[in-house]
Amino acid sequence: MIRAAGVLHPYMTAYSILDRSLVRRGSDPAAALRESVRFARQAEELGYHRFWVSEHHSVPGVAGSAPTVLAAAVAAATSRIRVGTGGVMLPNHRPLVVAEQFGVLESLHPGRIDMGLGRSVGFTGGIRRALGHGKEAADGFGDQLAELLGYFTGTQSVHPGVHALPAEGLRPQVFVLAMGAGADIAAEHGLPMVIGGGARMVDAVARYRAGFRPSAWAARPYVMVAVDVAVGPTAAEAALLQLPEAWSTVRSRTGGAFPPLVPAEEVAEEVAALAPGARERAYLEETLKGKIHGTEPEVAVALSALVEASGADEVLVTMNTYDLDRRLDSYRRLATVFTG
Q: What percent of the chain has pLDDT over 90?
A: 82
pLDDT score at 5: 37
Are residues 258 and 252 in contact, defined by beta-carbon separation less than 8 angstroms?
Answer: yes
Residue 215 has pLDDT above 80, yes or no: yes
pLDDT score of 139: 82
Looking at residue 126, its pLDDT comes to 83
Cα separation, 15 vs 287, in Å, equals 23
Residues whose CB falls within 8 Å of the CB of residue 171, separated by 6 or more in sequence, listed in order: 106, 152, 217
Pairing between strand 173-177 and 223-231? unpaired
Q: Is the pTM of this model over 0.85?
A: yes
- Confidence band for 255, pLDDT divided at 50, 70 and 90: confident
Query: Quick one: pLDDT at residue 9?
Result: 52
* pLDDT range class, residue 224, cuts 50, 70, 90: very high
Based on the structure, what is the number of domains in the chain? Answer: 1
Percent of the chain with pLDDT over 70: 96
Radius of gyration of the chain (CA): 20
Average predicted confidence (pLDDT) for the chain: 92
If one counts every other C-beta atom within 10 angstroms of the C-beta of residue 230, the result is: 28
CA distances from 100 to 141, 151, 215, 266, 273 (A): 18, 9, 22, 45, 52
Q: How far is CA 16 from CA 49, 182, 238, in A?
A: 5, 20, 19
In this structure, what CATH number is given to the domain that contains residue 119? 3.20.20.30
Is the pLDDT score of 7 beyond 70?
no
User: What is the predicted pLDDT for the residue at 33?
Assistant: 98
- Here the contacts of 144-150 (C-beta below 8 Å, separation 24 or greater) are 144/90, 144/91, 144/95, 145/90, 145/95, 145/117, 145/176, 145/185, 145/189, 146/189, 147/95, 147/96, 148/90, 148/95, 148/98, 148/99, 148/117, 149/174, 149/189, 149/217
SS percent in the chain: helix, strand, coil, step 5: 45, 15, 35
Work out the average pLDDT over 232-253. Answer: 97
In this predicted structure, what is the pLDDT of residue 115? 98
CA distance 201 to 26: 37
- Tell me the pLDDT tens digit for each residue of 148-171: 999 999 999 999 999 999 999 999
Domain that holds residue 37: 2-339
Burial class (CB within 10 angstroms; exposed 0-12, middle 13-18, buried 19+) of 216: exposed
More confidently predicted of 190 and 179: 190
Burial grade of 272 (CB within 10 A; 0-12, 13-18, 19 or more)? exposed
In angstroms, the CA 189 to CA 175 distance is: 10
199 or 143, greater pLDDT: 143
